[in-house]
Amino acid sequence: MEKYDALIFGHKNPDTDSICASLVQEKYNKNNGWNTKAVRLGNINKETEYVLKYLGIDAPKLINEVADGQDVILVDHNAFAQSVNNIENAHIQMVVDHHRISNFETKEPLYYIAKPYGCTCTILFEEFKNANMKIEKKEALLMLSAIVSDTLLFKSPTCTKYDVEAAKELGKIAEVDVQTYGLDMLKAGTDLSDFSPSELINIDSKEFVTGNYKFQVAQINVTSIEDVLENKSSIEKAMENFMTENGTNLFIFLITDILNNDSQSIVLGDTKLFEKAFGQTVENNMALLEGVVSRKKQIVPVILEALEKMGN
Amino acid sequence: MEKYDALIFGHKNPDTDSICASLVQEKYNKNNGWNTKAVRLGNINKETEYVLKYLGIDAPKLINEVADGQDVILVDHNAFAQSVNNIENAHIQMVVDHHRISNFETKEPLYYIAKPYGCTCTILFEEFKNANMKIEKKEALLMLSAIVSDTLLFKSPTCTKYDVEAAKELGKIAEVDVQTYGLDMLKAGTDLSDFSPSELINIDSKEFVTGNYKFQVAQINVTSIEDVLENKSSIEKAMENFMTENGTNLFIFLITDILNNDSQSIVLGDTKLFEKAFGQTVENNMALLEGVVSRKKQIVPVILEALEKMGN
């Protein structure tokens, strides 16, 4: 590979924010004379594909691990469990993220910019502003797409006024109608026809580790929950296989209806904990979570709190 | 206590940066209409006392612990071991820091601003700049003092060009000659006549935990190393007591000559690790570390690397 000062990447099973934020960070660095390169840790999903095609640009190169001492920049994640293989031995120069901090440690001081926003790209938007740096049309569309994706067109409880403000301005620069473009992009992401059940549970899947407890929360966006449930038993088998391979205690698979903003969940493993956490019965491995669209805000903290109460 | 949106504090055994950064952060927040309060986690040292007297202002209020769910802002540290008691159950809204990240975790997304600079106040200086916020004379002197303290008047290897640039501008706003004021402030900090040996090893002392291994690095700044060594045996006794109480594996007490920029170290406990780390023999519990003035850059990473090599 060509020599770069650092590699930039989002989390495993990259979503639109992970891909767009790495590309935008690369451009920001380039403007500052810093020769860094966006890469990715997994397949591009259909939603992100829509964005890249719209712009006529290629996806960042796929990597699976980094060499010892490799300089890296993390966007849209910090937990080592969600990062590149061998991250423990890389040299982390910088993190730009909007998640809680956990399972993260460095040997040296670093740049770390986190804000409790709906999207990493909203933070990057503000970095461009702080630096009085002009935002080009291409980066505007990348950032806008990430914000629409992460906030489900501003309907997620993770959405802040900063995300809304940024999207508004970015839509103008990108010269698109935010609602029209946003819904088209989200709908493109709901085309899951190409995916096998084991791919489906990996499109946007994150592992969380607390003590010896491992839980997995995967999420897909759809316009019809019923269509997905036609393959319920195959999906459950894929989830079971995953849990055996990874020693997962609890697996929550969220099927999120982006038009009604509810999620049907398939829950395997420690369903008792799930039931305590959400005060809802798991029947036939399922529980409907009304108004739930955000893993970060409506699932992970609820599970963590329940685990803490149980003394994990 | 009066009701504030959040408490702001630096690390235990606060140094000048910890105190000044919390006061400056309080002012920054106030300018943004955010009603927060600087507090401190330990005694004010002589150097910081000099700064506060120069400005005619009181030290922040001392606190020992925080209530469950208390909103807090951490400056100049992140490791829970160096933070307020019960930090695990506080709600961390924000961190502004210039150290590596370790032993740190949150349940929720937060604001986190870290830069690999010599001083937290240099980061705050840039925050004022980014916000186009006017820096008053008082905050200028607080930030300048912290930079001079952390960089030993720009002589520490932790000092960056950003620290130098900030100090230059802050000196102008504060209307002081940076060299004259800086040396006077540093010298004020070397007056250790009031301190008992057990107080001496606690003036600026930090605990580091990696796996089951605990090491402590304390540092004092002096103009005569010999004067301190007159009380060597009492200091050693105080160190031994501390180690027994805290289960410390290795205690390094740095006596730093701010005029020559060398440090005499008193080393107790796992001296073998120290010897491997620094390639120097500990004789009579002492090792002279030439050119070493920075715990963060010249001591902690060296010990961590040696520990890693030994498989800790």
Decide if domain B6-187 falls under CATH 3.90.1640.10.
yes
Q: Measure CB to CB from residue A111 to each of B99, B109, B115 and give the nearest one.
A: B115
SS3 annotation, A179-207 = HHHHHHHHHHHCCCCCCCHHHHCCCCEEE
Contact criterion met (CB below 8 Å) for A144 and A167:
yes
Decide if pLDDT at B211 tops 90.
no
| Separation of alpha carbons A16 and A150, rounded Å | 8
Q: What is the mean pLDDT of residues B292-296?
A: 93
What is residue B8's predicted lDDT score, i.e. its pLDDT?
98
Nearest to B154 by CA among B145, B166, B163: B163
A36 within 8 A of A5, measured Cβ to Cβ: yes
Strand partners, B214: B209
Whole-structure pTM value: 0.88
Domain ranges of chain B: 6-187, 197-309
Cα(A223)–Cα(B242) distance, rounded to whole angstroms? 63
Q: Do the Cβ atoms of B109 and A130 come within 8 Å?
A: no
CATH of segment(s) B197-309: 3.10.310.20
CA B75 – CA B23 distance, rounded (Å): 10
Over residues B11-62, the pLDDT tens digits come to 999 999 999 999 999 999 999 999 999 999 999 999 999 999 999 999 999 9
> Which residues in chain A are contacts of B111 at CB distance < 8 A?
114-116
Question: Residue B120's closest chain A neighbor by CA?
Answer: A109
What pLDDT score does B104 carry?
A: 96
pLDDT at B1 over 60: no
CB pairs below 8 Å between A and B: how many? 73
| Ordered mean pLDDT values, 10 residues apiece, chain A (312 residues) | 86 96 98 97 95 98 96 98 96 97 94 98 96 97 98 94 98 98 94 90 91 95 93 97 97 94 97 96 97 93 92 66
Q: How confident is the model at residue B312 (pLDDT cuts 50, 70, 90)?
A: low
Q: Which residue has the higher pLDDT, B1 or A271?
A: A271
Q: Are A225 and A264 in contact (CB under 8 A)?
A: yes
Predicted confidence at residue A203, as pLDDT, reads 87
Q: Which residue has the tokens 């030994």?
A: B310
Residue in B99, B103, B110 nearest the CB of A114: B110
**pLDDT reported for residue B203:** 87
B44 CB-side CA count, 13 A: 18
User: Is B281 exposed, middle or buried (CB count within 10 Å of its CB: 0-12, 13-18, 19+)?
Assistant: exposed
pLDDT value of residue A312:
58
Judge: A110–B101 Cβ closer than 8 Å, yes or no. Answer: yes
CB atoms within 10 A of CB A75: 32
The predicted model gives B262-275 an average pLDDT of 97
Q: Give me the residue from A101, A106, A116 closest to B100, CB to CB.
A: A106
Residue B296 pLDDT greater than 90, yes or no: no
CA-derived radius of gyration, chain B: 19
Residue B2 banded pLDDT, cuts 50, 70, 90: low
Q: Do the beta carbons of residue B227 and residue B193 sit within 8 Å?
A: no
Pairing status of strand A250-257 against strand A262-269: antiparallel
